[in-house]
Amino acid sequence: MKYYSRRELYAMGEPLGDSVTQRKVGGGYVCGGGGKGGGGSSPAPDPNIGLAQQKMADLSQKEFEQWQTDIWPTLKSQTEKQNTRADEQFALDKEAQGIQMDSAKKNLAEYDRNAVNRESIYKEAEDYGTEENQQRMAEGAIGDVTTAATNADIQKTQQMQSYGINPNSGQFQGMKNSNQVVQAANAASAATQARNAAIQLGWAKKMDAAGLAQGSFGNQATSTGLALSSGGQALNSGQTTISNAGAMGNSMAQGYGGAMSGWNNVGQLGVQKYNADIQKYSVDQQAASASSAGWGALAGSVIGAGAKIGVAAMSDIRTKENIEVVGYLPNGLLVYEYEYKPEFKDHKHAGHGRYRGLMAHEVEKVIPEAVFEMDNGYKAINYSKVN
């Protein structure tokens, strides 16, 4: 009957159960099972990390190439066209500015040329509403009323004489006196109206004079404002070129930034993978240290088990039960914890209680000189030869 060790079981691809029982595998028997000890290894880093790195690199490169071939040429062409239009607009705006500045200068020159006329108009407006002019206009109005009344009186006298009425009669004189009263009232009213008219006309002429000056200055200001507006448009046209150049720069920066960001992500993934490798290495080192430390303790336990029962110990798997794997020795042999079956407990190379030790069928494959067969046909181990 052939027995397989756990190492052989791993090589054969056989699964290990949690309980240690003998089961037949390929014509032989294997001691399977888990245990409290034993070496282990950290899981390898996810291989998808490398795949993600390559994908990110491909995407970043594709993004940059597409920007170079599809986006940048269009932006460059459009910017050059806009720059040409801006130059044309700048030339037109500058020409319009020159025309409007000339118009403003002409208006100013015309204003200066008419300075004498304006002064005369201002003087007349100032003099028109004075007391002297009011009195003069009032006297003129009274004269006009008196003249009109005298002419009317002469016509009335001639008319009365034609009717045979004596101009010296009391009736005629009474009518004449009544007309004189009316004439005086009319003269006074005409004088008042003439004075008011002089005042009103004086104000009107002052307003006209002021309006004339405002109109001249307004035309000049309008022309100057138009010129300044054209200059502003010219500046705005020049600013368009600057804006276009800035937009191109920003677009280029975005294109390079996208590529750089992608590669940065690739680098970060690389760092993460490196950190994972370092962590795995650290875990492996710690595990190796723990195993090295455990080898001595396990070896001591095994030798101790041999000393407990004697240098030789019944180590045939057929004599043991409740078996658990608890570790391994530097030479690769598995160390077990077990009890002897009831019928073997009183044997001189066995005993009562739990022991730690090796399995004879595994030891004879590595250290054959350490295994011998007892009189009862079961195998035992000479632990003094186990190193």
pLDDT score for 36: 36
- Residues in the chain with pLDDT values less than 70: 1-46, 128, 171, 209-228, 230-235, 237-238, 241-242, 245, 249, 280-281, 283-311, 387
pLDDT score for 11: 52
Q: What is the DSSP string of 305-332?
A: HHHHH-SEEE--GGGEEEEEEEEE-TTS
Report yes or no on whether pTM surpasses 0.75. Answer: no
pLDDT score for 311: 63
In angstroms, the CA 327 to CA 3 distance is: 19
pLDDT score for 196: 83
Buried b (16+ CB within 10 A) or exposed e, 36-56: ebeeeeeeebeeeeeebbeeb
pLDDT score for 319: 95
pLDDT score for 333: 92
